[in-house]
Structure 1
């Protein structure tokens, strides 16, 4: 790769790039398949915000699949990131089926509260066929 092309790429990906920072999601996730020690690639997921606690009505914000690194870039925009209760739902049964495996959990829902939308929140999912764990990452 030429030096000029590397410099162009560097300008797009370095943290000092204002465009990248403006587009960066304030909420990120990462799935790790702990049974195999690899990223959880191509897992269908959806992001929801609790719209009405009295009826448990959830507003769908985004859907998609994790990338080859087990991440979902652009999960949500900074302007849509409000205080509230959110839910990330991972379709784990489909993921394991594509690998010829079965899973005890057909899906994983992680419900969490955003109290300061100016912060960055990272919600990792550590996954195997018979267990999962999560935490608030940085």
Structure 2
């Protein structure tokens, strides 16, 4: 069975994947958040960098640098950073966490 964490970002305002968006994955520890790695979305808006991560039951955070990404396109946005915090309760499965994004809002869900 596939484990790890993946994400996919879609720019709903433009109707296309959000390529080149910086994303950081962190895990909550007793002393705070520990960064596990940084990545950027590919041409399809996906980050699969953590697909083979050895998960443990814990709380994780995906941090998306949306302000920098929109600024790079000469567009304003309301949310300069989007943090998605989620719980991994089964370390033997795959967690896909998409982000649907536009300049004024965002939505997320647990994907497959």
For this structure pair, what is the TM-score category when the shorter chain's length is used for normalisation? Answer: over 0.9
Asked if structure 2 preserves the Cα contact closer than 8 Å seen for 1:28 and 1:123, the reply is yes
> Is 2:47 the partner of 1:72?
yes
1:7 is aligned to none
1:32 is aligned to 10
CA distance in 2 between partners of 1:66 and 1:26 (Å): 16
1:61 is aligned to 36
Q: TM-score, normalised by structure 1?
A: 0.77
The RMSD of aligned alpha carbons is: 1.5
1:132 is aligned to 106
Higher share of residues assigned strand: 2
What stretches of structure 2 of length at least 5 have no aligned partner? none
Of the two structures, which has the highest relative contact order with CA contacts closer than 8 Å and spacing of 6 or more? Answer: 2
Instruction: Name the SS of the counterpart of 1:74 in structure 2.
Output: strand
CA distance in 1 between partners of 2:88 and 2:79 (Å): 26
CA distance in 2 between partners of 1:123 and 1:69 (Å): 15
Q: TM-score, normalised by structure 2?
A: 0.94
* 4+ runs deviating over 6 angstroms: none
Which of structures 1 and 2 has the bigger CA Rg? Answer: 1
After superposition, where does 1:94-109 map in structure 2 within 5 Å? 94-109=68-83
CA offset digits 1:82-136 (Å, max 9, x no partner): 1100000000001101111000001000000000011111100000000000000
CA offset digits 1:48-98 (Å, max 9, x no partner): 00011xx5x00100102111110112225342x111000000000011011
- Number of residue-to-residue matches in the alignment: 112
CA distance in 1 between partners of 2:21 and 2:95 (Å): 20
What stretches of structure 1 of length at least 5 have no aligned partner? 1-20
